[in-house]
């Protein structure tokens, strides 16, 4: 009974710590869950290996979704953006504030568009600024009852490379081509002006002067997004992350499932 109460107490403590707002408390809560899992398997067996196996079970939880939903996914190779109305602002966090901040920073609205990927819907509000030589987007990803928004700022240089700063909250689900460079900022950073400052600083650190950046064509922004996605698919086909199904779609290969598992682990560690 004493050992059972210890495990129950650790679980309750972990839930309490995870409910805190401080990042250190939430991380301590995640560690507490690991200790509870270790104790749950250690006490009946008195085996350190069994306890460690119980703790590491958390890191294998993503395989349930990988081997069920994701393994059966079929995604289109050729996907096109289409003009779509932006969803209700209540489901589009920070979209109104971000758009207003983009307007203050001299970015002009280009279009509202989106596409679907096997039940997941993505909406984009696209902006451009010829002086910054950059494209800005506030994006909403929606799947079932889960939705999240993020901001991205993209610049193209004269050599065809893409430089992007974003507060996208998760690890990428596909490998990026070598000519696409991502600068991830904390997902809690929702102020567009600060993200724009981060983007300028990122370009300075990479020694990319504004004079080397291409002025975007507002009429070609949607086409450039589609072409970038196709290049990314071709890169992942070449590296074996995905494979063609023969009907105009692709799916994750076995190597791709292990790649996604690694990305899930990164997110688990980062968000713990």
Q: Residue 51's pLDDT band (boundaries 50, 70, 90)?
A: confident
Is the pLDDT at 48 greater than 80, yes or no? yes
- pLDDT of amino acid 32: 85
Q: Phi/psi class of residue 158: alpha, beta or left (left: φ > 0; alpha: ψ in -120 to 50)? A: alpha
As a dihedral over the C-alpha atoms of residue 70, residue 76, residue 77, residue 80, rounded to 10 degrees, the angle is -130
Average pLDDT taken over every residue of the chain: 88
Condensed to tens digits (0 to 9), the pLDDT of residues 204-261 reads 999 999 999 999 999 999 999 999 999 999 999 999 999 999 899 999 999 999 999 9
95: its two tokens: 């979209």
Q: When comparing pLDDT for 42 and 175, which is higher? A: 175
Is the pLDDT at 28 greater than 90, yes or no? no
Q: Residue 271's pLDDT band (boundaries 50, 70, 90)?
A: low
81: its two tokens: 């953006």
């Amino acid at each position: 009974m004493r050992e059972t109460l210890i495990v129950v107490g650790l679980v309750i403590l972990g839930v309490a710590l995870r409910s805190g707002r401080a990042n250190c408390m939430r991380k301590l809560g995640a560690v507490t869950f690991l200790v509870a899992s270790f104790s749950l398997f250690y006490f009946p067996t008195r085996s350190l290996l069994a306890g460690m196996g119980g703790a590491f079970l958390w890191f294998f939880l993503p395989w349930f979704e990988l081997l069920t939903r994701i393994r059966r996914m079929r995604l289109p190779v050729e996907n096109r953006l289409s003009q779509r109305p932006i969803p209700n602002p209540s489901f589009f966090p920070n979209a109104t504030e971000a758009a207003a901040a983009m307007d203050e920073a001299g970015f002009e609205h280009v279009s509202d568009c989106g596409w679907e990927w096997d039940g997941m819907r993505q909406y984009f509000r696209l902006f451009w600024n010829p002086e910054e030589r950059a494209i800005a987007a506030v994006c909403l990803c929606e799947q079932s009852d889960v939705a999240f928004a993020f901001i991205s700022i993209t610049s193209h240089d004269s050599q065809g490379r893409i430089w992007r700063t974003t507060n996208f909250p998760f690890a990428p689900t596909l490998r990026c081509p070598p000519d696409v460079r991502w600068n991830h900022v904390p997902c809690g950073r929702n102020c567009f002006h600060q993200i724009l400052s981060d983007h300028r600083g990122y370009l300075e650190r990479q020694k990319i002067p504004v004079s080397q950046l291409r002025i975007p064509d507002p009429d070609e922004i949607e086409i450039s997004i589609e072409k970038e996605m196709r290049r990314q698919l071709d890169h992942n086909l070449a590296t074996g992350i995905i494979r063609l199904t023969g009907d105009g779609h692709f799916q994750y290969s076995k190597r791709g499932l292990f790649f996604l598992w690694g990305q899930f682990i990164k997110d688990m560690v980062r968000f713990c």
